[in-house]
Amino acid sequence: MTSVETLPPTTSEAARADAGTPRAGGRRRTHRLRLSPGTVAAGLFLLLVVLWALAPQWFTSADPLVGVGAEALRPPSADHWFGTDRIGRDQYARVVHGARLSLQATVIALAIALAVSSVIGVVAGFVGGWVDEVLMRVVDVLLAIPGLLISLMLITVLGFGMVNIAIAVAVGSVASFARVTRSEVLKVRTAAYVESAAVAGVRWWSVLWRHVLPHASGPVLALAALEFGGAILSISALSFLGYGAAPPTPEWGSLVSDGRGYVATAWWLTTLPGIVVVLTVVAANTVSHALSRRNA
C-alpha cells in the first residue's frame, strides 16, 4: 500500500481552522455579540430605574408629597403620565421618587446577606468538622422555612421601616448564599495550589485571604445578581403589607397598597406602580441571566 503523507495546512486553511476554534478572548466577544434586544432593553430600563433613585429631579418637577385637591383621581394624561391619587398628587412623581427607598433597601438587604453568609460559608467550608456540621444544620433549618415567612417573623419583632425590612429580607436570604459560599470554599480548598501553599508553610489566614476568598467569590456574586430582582419583590411585598416607610413617603409597595380601595374607579393607582415593579424584577433577572451565561 502506498503511504499517504500528511502535508501541513496552508495559511488559509490554518486561518479557517483557527477561526473555528474558540479562544478565551473570542468567546467573550461572541457573548457580547449575542446580547439580545430584550437584554439590551432590560439593561436600559434598569439604568433608568437607577437614575430615578439617584436623581429623581431629572425626570419630574412635581412634588411627590403635595397634591392639588381639584386634580384628585385624574386618569393618565399628558400632564400626569400616571394619573393622580386621591388627594391630587402626581403618581408618576411618586413612583420616580419611590425608586430611591426601594433600591436602597434592596442594596442594604443584599449587602447584609452577603456579609453574614460569607462568614458562615467560609468558616464552615474552611474549618470543617463539627463546626461545619453545626452551621449547616442551622442553614438547613432556614432553608426549610420560606424566606418571606422568615422576613415576616422578623419584621414583627424589629418594627416598621425600610431598614428593618431590608434586615428581615437579608436574614431570609442568608441560607442560600451560605450554601453556595461553603460549596465554593470546599472546592477551592482542595485545589492543588492551595494544598501546595499549605505544605509550603504559608499561614492559614494568608491562604484564606489570597487564594480561597478570591476564587470562591465569583459564583456568590453571580448569585447576588440573580437575587436582586427577588429582593426587590420581597421588599415591595412587605411594604405592600404596611411594614415599610410611613405615609406619605412614597415607596413602590406602599403605592400599590394605597390604590387597593380605588381599583374599580382609579385603576392606574395600583396597575402602573405594579407594572413598574414587575418590569424591574424581570429586567434584573434578564440581565443577571445574561451575565451568568457570559461568565460561564
Rounded CA gap, 42 and 26, in Å? 25
So what's the pLDDT on residue 191?
A: 65
Domain count for the chain: 1
Answer yes or no: pTM beyond 0.85: no
At 95, list the grid cell: 413612583
* Residues found in the chain: 296
- Domain membership of residue 89 (yes or no) is no
Digitized pLDDT (tens) for each residue of the chain, 296 residues in all? 444 444 444 444 444 444 444 444 444 444 444 678 888 999 999 999 999 999 999 999 999 999 888 898 999 999 999 999 999 999 999 999 999 999 999 999 999 999 998 889 888 887 878 888 899 898 988 888 888 888 888 988 888 888 999 999 999 889 888 888 888 888 877 666 666 666 666 666 666 666 667 767 777 777 787 888 889 999 999 999 889 888 888 999 999 999 888 888 999 999 999 999 999 999 988 888 877 776 55
Instruction: Report whether 274 contacts 34 (CB < 8 A).
Output: no
Report if residue 116 sits inside a domain: yes
In a domain, 44, yes or no: no
158 found inside a domain: yes
Contacts 24+ apart (CB under 8 A), 223-227: 223/176, 223/177, 223/180, 224/110, 224/113, 224/114, 224/177, 225/284, 225/287, 225/288, 225/291, 225/292, 226/285, 226/288, 226/289, 226/292, 227/110, 227/113, 227/173, 227/176, 227/177
Q: Is residue 14 part of a domain?
A: no
Domain extent for 264: 101-295
- Rounded Cα–Cα distance for residues 218 and 224 (Å): 10
**Looking at the domain assignment, is residue 24 inside a domain?**
no
Residue 202 sits in a domain whose CATH number is 1.10.3720.10
Classify residue 164: in a domain, yes or no: yes
